[in-house]
Structure formats: C-alpha cells, structure tokens
Structure 1
Amino acid sequence: MFSGSIPALVTPFRDGAFDESAFRKLVDWQIENGSSGLVPCGTTGENSTLSNAEHHRVIEVCVEQAAGRVPVIAGCGSNDTMNALLHMNFSKKSGAAAALVVAPYYNRPSQDGLLAHFSYLAEHSDLPILLYNVPGRTVTDLQPETVCELARRFPRTFIGIKDASADLSRVTDHRMGIGKHFAQLSGDDELALPFNAAGGVGCISVTANVAPKLCAEFQAACAANDLELARELNDKLYPLHYAMFEDSSPGPCKYALARVHPWLSNELRLPLVPCGEKARIAVDAALEHAGLL
C-alpha cells in the first residue's frame, strides 16, 4: 500500500499556536517534489505536545490539503490504548488512508501487552495500521515474532511497519514471516539503502522534510535497482541524515526548514528548544553538501 519517500512532517508553530498556513504550504511543497505519502503527528510532528484538538486539526488539515494526491498516514500512537483508538476513529472520519501507531511508550508493556494493545485497536477500528517500532524512544521493543503474529491474526489491518530499531536483520524476519505484501519502511534515513536492499520499500523520513526531491529520487533509484544512482544520492544526503539528530529532533529539522523556507518558523514547544550552535553548523554544512543552500 505504501512505498517511496514519506516525510514525517514537522508541525509548524507561530507564537505558540499551530501555523496552519505554513503547514498547508509544506504539504503542497512535499507533494510537488515527489513525496509519495505524508505522515502528520508523528514523532517529528511533536505529537506529544499537542492537545487532542490540535492533534486532530493537524491531521484534518493534512488530509484536506493533500486532497487525494498522496495518501495520508495519520500519527495515532499513544501509551493509552483508548486515546490511540480515539485518534484512529477521528483519522478514519477525516479520510486518512492508514494510522501510524507507535508501540506504547513509558509504561513498557510486555510482548503480550503489545499483542493485546494492537489487537484491541484492530478489533475496534477498520482503519489499516502501520506499526511503528522505535525502541530508542519508547524503550519497548516490538519483536519480530509479535509483528508476525499481529499480521497473521489481522492480515487486512496490519499492512506494514515503520522500523526504527536499527536492526536490519528484521527486514528479512518480517519478509519471511509475513510476506512481500507487508510494507516495510525504514524509520532511519541513514539506513534506508541497506534496508531497501534487504527487502524494504521506502522510508518514513525526517530528512525528506528538508530535501523531498532528493529523497524521492533516492527511493525511486532503489525501486529501479539502480544501485549506482542510489549510492550517489545517498552520499549527497548522508550528512543531512546525521545533522537532523545533532540536537533533539525536530530542532535541527525545523532550523533547516527555516533556512530553506522563510515562511516556516524555527519554533518548537517546550520541553524542546531550538537547536544549539553545533547543530546549526552541522545543518548548514549538510545543506550545502546536498546543494540545498
């Protein structure tokens, strides 16, 4: 269902509020530059600092502005199963194509708890779910056995995974345990090349916020098995992948976007603050390396 370069969109703020006008421009720019889908309200979208009303408005605006040109995968994760279901129900009504649901964070459920959490969501909503595993942030690790079991129990619901575990062997685990129809998307930009080589079909990307055209071209080269071009584009993007995490994300990403687009504010919500000088230097150098400045 999903493949290619899919940005995990930042949520623009201005004077503390959601900057809807800037977000609409960002959505249009992403689609015009080849992004194959959009993810509002993911980690990069600072979803943990949004009220439910704001969360839902961001999703609603994204679906409205995309206007069917590309699918919208709405960030619906929560460490509260009922709140995740609330987000999913709203996203379904708004016209989202799927929900991106992260493994519950902070409360650290067991694998049985994860099975129960995701099974409940599948049983109470017919919106397709893209699993999201990012143990570096959640501490909880969605093991391949659990992913395969969910796909076996609910094959029409669990249609893929955003894997940010940094364990490339899992691409093969999932492919052999579920099948090629299960969309495997990298959650780590810097690992997208070997991830795709192992059987992945794209990336839910931080870097694509800033470099959508290059990221889309890179994914297209991978899909065409043009390894030489994929390497060339990956080398161009590689410093930017790392610069995006020189400080707490999405600080460097918002700084980079403000450098590229004056209509985007470099504003974050507490407890996040704008990135420091070291990160700004790294971002500027990476933007120049990629030919974006």
Structure 2
Amino acid sequence: MKQLVGTGVALVTPFHEDGSVDYVSLEKLVNYNIDGGVDYLVILGTTAEAATLTNDEKKKVIETIKKANNKRVPLVLGIGGNNTAEVIKEYQETDLSEYCAILTVSPYYNKPNQEGIYQHYKAIAESTDANIILYNVPGRTGSNIDPETTIRLANEFKNIVAIKEASPNFLQSTDILRTNNREDFHIISGDDEYALPMVLAGGSGVISVIAQGLPQLFSSMIKEGLNRDVNAAYEKHYKAVEITRAIFEEGNPCGIKTVLSNKGICSAQTRLPLVPASEELTNKINQLLINI
C-alpha cells in the first residue's frame, strides 16, 4: 500500500451560491491539487459535507473526480456510518475496484465501547476484500479507538491496512507507532498540525484539509519529512501553522473553503447546518495567506 504514503487530501464539495453542487469548480480543485503534487485524493470524507449530499449528488461527485483525475493519482473513497449493517450493504453495492482503499469512520453518536468498535470493523473487514482505512476522530464521533483496539484489528485483518488517526492526544499516535509490528500497516495523521511530527515519528503521511488550499507547500513538507530533511520540513511547517489553525476556528470545511475562495478555486459556500466563515475569520485567513 505505497499509495498511502505521503499527502492525501480530503476534498471539499464546492457549492454555487444557490446551494447546488459546483461540479466545474470540483474539477478545477482536483487539477489544482494534482498539479500541486499531492499523492492521493479522498472522496466523500467529512470535509466533503457528505452528510448533506443526496445519493445522486454523491454519484456525480464521484464521477466528476474520477474523470478529472483520469487515473493520475490513487483514490480513496469514504464509506462509513453508525449502522454496521448499512455500511456493509453500501460496501457490497458499490464498485470499489477503482479505489486503493476505503476510509471508514468509527461509529458516531451510538458511542460504542472498545468491543463494539472492534466488532463493527470486524464485520466490515469480513464482508469485503477491499482495503480499509480506520478513521479515528473522537471530536466528531464521541468515542475513541484505543491504540490496543487499533493494533488488535491490524493484527487480525490484513485488509485493514491503515488508520487515519485524528485523536487530539498525540501520545496515542505514538503508542500505535511504538506497538505496531506490522510493516505494511500505515499510521496516517488526520490532524494537519500533527502531520509533520507524525511523519518524523514513523508515520506514513497525512490525509489533510489545508493541503488542498496549499498543495505544493504541504505536500513538499511531508516529502521532506519522509526523507528526514527535518530543517526544511519544519520551515514549511511553521510557515503554515497559523493558517492551519485558523481554518478550523469555526469548523470544517468553512475555513478551507475560504482559502479556496481566496485562491479562485471555488466559492466559500457551505450547506446547512454549516455556514460560511464569518467576516472576521475571512479577513484573518485572507491576511494570513498574503505571507504564504
């Protein structure tokens, strides 16, 4: 799974001012990121506001990205949820042949214990031959995948190939790195500010939000980190750290859409219940971008 080494980008879904999906801007976004040097693209993740898209819109988003990509970089598809049976059904009804892996978020809202999380992923792994990336994001799901559960799943299911780790506790990530004995299991940062420290600690890279706004800067930073060019990598890290923090001040993806609007890629429009960045945050982001 070398396709998962480096910088992956969790693509937004651009919208017109009337709230409809802007597929032209989505195509522009794909080209902007590939030209900027990112290593793979993630479709219909949390950043894509996938929860607000209709099934028909999701299908058209997928087709637009696949067409624009034209097999230039690997693709990862987001399929997850808090109803295990429905997640398995979606796996079985989706053609997964064009994706190097499927990103599957830990069950949200239900707040299962560790055994419940294990059984959820076990049922999914046994239902498919597709490569699976676990996604731990406690700030959204209301529960955490403990390092022991991650290692247990990695050791028992070969098609569980990675974890996107977005726990706010960086020690959790290092515990996984420290105790993982499987050479082909990837630990991927799900937090942009921790991306470089994660890589330097032994991680495989990042699935990033900010990188789609600053693809050249961020992807080159990750490459330098992987090559242990530490000083050059940290120079870029510190250059990007303020904008990385700013885009999450009012939630994701309103901040990154403000960056993309500034770059002329797409509008800053979101769908309810999310709203665009405030005027104050927009001004702050635009000011920070002047010096990057």
TM-score bin (small chain): over 0.9
Quick one: distance in 2 between partners of 1:96 and 1:39? 10
Q: Which residue of 2 aligns with 1:3?
A: 5
2:52, 2:271 within 8 Å by CA — same for their partners in 1?
yes
Alignment partner for residue 141 of structure 2, among 115, 138, 144? 138
Query: Aligned to 1:172, which of 174, 182, 189?
Result: 174
Instruction: Give the AA of the match of 1:27.
Output: V
1:270/1:94 CA distance change after superposition, 3 Å: farther
Distance 1:278 1:83, change over 3 A: farther
Alignment size in residue pairs = 288
The answer to whether the 8 A contact 1:151-1:178 is kept is no
Q: 1:35 aligns with which of 31, 35, 38?
A: 38
Confirm whether residue 61 of structure 1 aligns to residue 80 of structure 2: no
Q: In structure 2, what is the equivalent of residue 251 of structure 1?
A: 254
* Counterpart contact for 2:155–2:182, Cα < 8 Å: no
Alignment partner of 1:73 is 2:76: yes
Picking from 12, 19, 24, the partner of 1:16 is 19
Structure 1: distance between partners of 2:190 and 2:50: 17
Cα shift readout 1:147-187 (whole Å, capped 9, x = no counterpart): 111111112x1111111002222333323234332111111
2:292 equivalent to 1:287: no
Aligned partners of 2:130 and 2:253: how far apart in 1? 28
Partner of 1:163: 165
**How big is the shift at 1:91?**
4.9
Structure 1 match to 2:196 = 193
Offset at 1:70?
A: 0.9
The answer as to whether partners of 1:88 and 1:99 remain within 8 angstroms in 2 is no
SS at match of 1:13: coil
| Contact in 1 for aligned 2:154/2:182 (Cα 8 Å) | no
Secondary structure at 1:123's aligned position in 2? helix
In structure 2, what is the Cα distance between the partners aligned to 1:240 and 1:147? Answer: 31
CA RMSD of aligned residues (A): 1.6
Q: d(CA) in 2 for partners of 1:178 and 1:102?
A: 23
Compute the displacement of 1:94 (Å). Answer: 5.9
Which deviations, in whole Å up to 9, do the C-alpha atoms of 1:221-258 show, x marking residues without a partner?
A: 10110011011111111111101112121111111101
Point out where structure 1 has 5 or more consecutive residues left out of the alignment.
none
Aligned partner of 1:272 in structure 2 is 274
1:86, distance to aligned residue in structure 2 (A): 4.0
SS at the partner of 1:44? helix
Of 102, 105, 110 in structure 2, the residue corresponding to residue 107 of structure 1 is 110
TM normalised by structure 1 equals 0.93
- Cα pair 1:5 1:203 within 8 Å, conserved: yes
Q: For 1:100-132, what per-residue CA distance to the aligned partner results, in whole angstroms no more than 9, with x for missing partners? A: 111011111111111111111111111101111
Measured in 2, the distance between the counterparts of 1:20 and 1:83 equals 28
Aligned pair partner of 1:147 in 143, 146, 150: 150
In structure 1, the partner of 2:49 is 46
| TM-score of the pair, normalised by structure 2 | 0.93
Deviation of 1:134 (Å): 0.5
47-56 or 161-170, larger mean C-alpha shift: 47-56
In structure 2, list runs of 5 or more residues that go unmatched.
none
